[in-house]
A and B are shown apart, each in its own frame.
Chain A
Amino acid sequence: MPDLEDHFDRTIERDQRVEPRDWMPDGYRATMVRQIAQHAHSEIIGMQPEGEWITRAPSLRRKAILLAKVQDEAGHGLYLYSAAETLGADRAELTAMLIEGRQKYSSIFNYPTLTYADVGVIGWLVDGAAICNQVPLCRSSYGPYARAMIRICKEESFHQRQGYELLMTMMKGTEVQRAMVQDAVDRWWWPSLMMFGPPDDASPNTARSMAWKIKRHTNDELRQRFVDMSVPQAESLGVTLPDPELRWNAERGHHDFGPIDWSELQRVISGDGPCNAQRVAVRRAAHENGTWVREAAVAHARKAAVPRSAGVFA
């Protein structure tokens, strides 16, 4: 055992990847499963707030963009559940944990999407914050997760750009459209800052995760990076970020920003956000309504060594 542990420690120390067949401490395995599963759940639940607008998209081009984006999120969920399975987890069990409320997903998806501008703002701010969080994870010490993250970050970057482009177009449109964009920014700004998690002094697991190199920067570092990135983007767009204390601090070389209402994050995480019940209910309904379909697929596959459904036209 000491040899195995030494090998693991050296792998981490040398910035090499831990692979599925390598020995790893139980705590590392459990932490990775939880992290990857929560990320997968977030992708799947995250389909809902924007997915609600696909059938109502105001142009066919926007409809195609949004449909493709939501499809990508389903794909991200699939790779991530697969990455979790390399650690011995089971997709069906993880799904059960999600719909029974035993595992979390990003609390940002518990806010409602009220207008089409929300689709753009989610792309810009929510996907932007996700990219800040996830780009460093392309160097996660767990190999399958790091590799999944590369593709996911590329697609997220594409989504973010499309979201920003929608907002730019809307800002050049009518007065009503500009007001819609500002309203959506007002509603999503603070929840986006909360996506980075509690402040460092209230994040007990950060030190261990950093030591294991499954987390590369602290919550507050990433949050600061996101604020610094977003301020010039907001200026370029012509919207105001809803924080009167937001200003450049030349001494720090960063933007100062106002206090975050952590009690709101606590409320939303613990289930009292505007849409928690609805999000889980939709996922649960899809899963339960699909039970007979999945059972049929299994029954059919068992009936024949070579299922007839595999290439009806072959």
Chain B
Amino acid sequence: MSSGNNVHEPKPSSDDTPETPYEEVYAPSSGNAYEALNEGEDPRWAYGTGFADPLAGVDTRVPEGVDRTDLAAYCLMLGDDALIMSHRLQEWCTRAPELEEEVALANIALDLLGQARLLLARAGAAEGAGRDEDALAFLREAGEFRNVRLVEAENGDFGHAMARLLVFTTWRLALLDRLAGSRDPVLAAVAVKGVKEVAYHRDYAAGWVVRLGDGTPYSRERVAEGLESVWPLVAELFRPHVVELRLAEAGVGVDPAALREEFDAVLDHVLSAATLTRPGDTVTPEGGQGGRAGTHTDVMTGLLAEMQSVARAHPEATW
């Protein structure tokens, strides 16, 4: 059901024999299975809740000649993109047009959340100030987030969701594909894992953009409007921040300007199948350098207020 998240241990196939052992194993009368939680592993549980270090086996030292501050900032950029896009997809939960879409959207949100966790953990390690993934996700202010503004825009209808997801995944897949050759072994590992995931996400979004574009007149109008509404946020995806340029130069990061050609080609391919056309780029009025420099739209504050509410209400708590 889910393509790449770490949450589930492998699931046994559904044709495992259901005969008596199964009920005996799970029957409450067989004793206090919960002691297992206090006293180590118990075979009566089908799955563990152990979560291995996601970077186990990867050399986590910062490669020679790489500026730690730049690396931390860069990991935040890519991690925040995934985290905030995941959040907007999480908001679809229980609201999708069909149950298959519930499963798919949650799956994509989970994959992106997994990417975010790895990247934020890497950012914290490179920074060296003792901040973990949760400190970075829950204790930063809007101005410290470095995601592109495309991902923070509020949800619209399903046409908007698929238009944005197509734009986001086409851009991110092109980026991760190049990042797989990074000199930083952690970024390279995250990218290799991410390419497989985002290729599926892009396929999912493209399938829906085609269905909606070439579906009914109304669906065509909805997805075209979705595309128009996200398009003003597209130019920013390809405008390099100085950190991205320095890390691209060092063989660690990717210059986003180099992704535009592939992005346009993929979009044209999908949109032509969808009988839609690519909107023209518009110049967006903005201050500063956009999301990469911490300049966000006003909806970012509300998004963070929700995401960070429980964590901030209980600063001493453990979860």
* Contact surface of A with B, Cβ cutoff 8 Å: 44, 47-48, 51, 53-65, 67-68, 70-72, 74-75, 77-78, 81, 116, 131-132, 135-136, 138-139, 146-148, 150-151, 153-155, 157-158, 161-162, 164-166, 168-170, 172-174, 176-177, 225-226, 228-229, 232-233, 236, 282-283, 285-286, 289-297, 299-300, 303, 307-313
Contacts and interface: CB of A to CB of B under 8 A. Distances in A.
A161 B47 contact: yes
Interface string B142-175: 0000000000000001100000000000000000
Contacts of B278: none
A225 B29 CA distance: 7
B46 to A, nearest CB: 5
Interface of B: 1-2, 5-8, 11-12, 14-16, 18, 22-23, 26-29, 32, 34-35, 37-38, 45-47, 49, 51, 83, 87, 90-91, 93-103, 106-107, 109-110, 113-114, 116-117, 120, 133-134, 137-138, 157-158, 202-203, 206-208, 210-212, 214-216, 218-219, 222, 269-270, 273, 306-307, 309-311, 314, 316-319
Contacts of B210: 300, 307-309, 312
Given A169-B319, A312-B273, 19 more contacts: A44-B99, A51-B93, A55-B87, A55-B307, A58-B314, A58-B319, A59-B134, A60-B116, A64-B110, A65-B7, A67-B109, A68-B110, A150-B18, A151-B14, A161-B45, A174-B314, A232-B34, A290-B101, A310-B207
Contacts of A44: 99
A103 B32 CA distance: 36
B94 A64 contact: no
Given A67-B113, A313-B203, A150 B16 contact: yes
Given A153-B26, A233-B32, A286-B94, A292 B222 contact: yes
B18 A282 contact: no
Contacts of A53: 310
B103 A58 contact: no
Contact of A294 (B12, B16, B98): B98
Contacts of A59: 134, 138, 311, 319
A250 to B, nearest CB: 16
Contact of B22 (A138, A155, A289): A138
Contacts of A166: 319
Contacts of A78: 99-100, 103
A59 B99 CA distance: 27
A47 B96 CA distance: 12
B113 A236 contact: no
Contacts of A146: 18
A56 B99 contact: no
B2 A68 contact: yes
A264 B174 CA distance: 57
Contact of B29 (A157, A165, A228, A233): A228
The 7 closest A-B pairs by CB, nearest first: A290-B97, A296-B215, A296-B219, A229-B28, A71-B106, A293-B97, A68-B7
Contacts of B202: 313
Contact of B28 (A228, A296, A300): A228
A282 B95 contact: yes
Given A55-B87, A138-B23, A300 B18 contact: no
A12 to B, nearest CB: 17
Given A68-B7, A165-B37, A176-B314, A226 B28 contact: yes
Nearest to B83: A60
Contacts of A291: 97
Given A233-B34, A296-B211, A290 B14 contact: no
Given A55-B90, A312-B269, A292 B46 contact: no
B219 A154 contact: no
A297 B311 CA distance: 40
Q: Of residues A53, A172, A173, which shows the largest number of chain B Cβ atoms within 10 Å of its Cβ?
A: A173
30 contacts: A47-B102, A54-B93, A58-B317, A59-B319, A60-B117, A63-B90, A64-B113, A64-B117, A65-B7, A67-B110, A70-B93, A71-B106, A72-B1, A74-B103, A150-B22, A151-B14, A154-B11, A158-B47, A165-B49, A166-B319, A236-B32, A290-B96, A290-B158, A292-B222, A293-B158, A293-B212, A295-B215, A295-B216, A295-B219, A308-B214
B106 A67 contact: yes
A189 to B, nearest CB: 16
A170 B310 CA distance: 13
B23 A48 contact: no
A282 to B, nearest CB: 6
Contacts of A67: 7, 90, 93, 106, 109-110, 113
B28 A225 contact: yes
A168 B35 CA distance: 12
Contacts of A173: 316-319
Contact of B218 (A65, A290, A292, A307): A292
A300 B99 contact: no
B207 A309 contact: yes
A146 to B, nearest CB: 7
Given A60-B116, A151-B14, A177 B219 contact: no
A286 B96 contact: yes
A282 B94 contact: yes
A296 B216 contact: yes
Given A78-B103, A154-B12, A299-B216, A56 B113 contact: no
